[in-house]
Amino acid sequence: MLGEKVFDDISARVAAAMAASPVHDVEKNVRTLLRGALDRLDLVSREEFDIQVALLARTREKLDALEERLASLEAGAKTAAR
């Protein structure tokens, strides 16, 4: 029990010292700079990426179906031309 109390007291003192130290300010500044740099990048969320992947897959299926249909129509036109 005494060990836990001492540990809690030391933890509280270290946390208070870290909050009052320049390390805390540096951490906030680094986070702000990093957030600003990431905001300037043209990034999308995972959800948006997954939506685009699904849309691309559907578009690819439609394109494949149209290519097959065109090939069939061209083959029919060649047969009719003979």
**Would you state the torsion angle of the CA atoms of residues 16, 19, 22, 23, taken in this order, to the nearest 10 degrees?**
100
- Each residue's pLDDT tens digit, 46-79: 999 999 999 999 999 999 999 999 999 999 888 8
H helices of 1-82, in order, are 2-20, 22-40, 46-81
Structural domain range at position 6: 1-42
Q: Is a pLDDT exceeding 50 seen at residue 1?
A: no
User: Alpha carbon 15 to chain centroid distance?
Assistant: 33
Q: What band does 80 get if pLDDT is binned at 50, 70 and 90?
A: confident
pLDDT given at position 29 = 81
Tokens matching residue 17: 């010292």
Say if CB 51 and CB 57 are below 8 A apart.
Answer: no
The answer to whether residues 70 and 81 belong to one domain is: yes
- Say yes or no: 3 and 14 in one domain: yes
**What's this model's pTM, rounded to 2 decimal places?**
0.49
48 shares a domain with 31: no
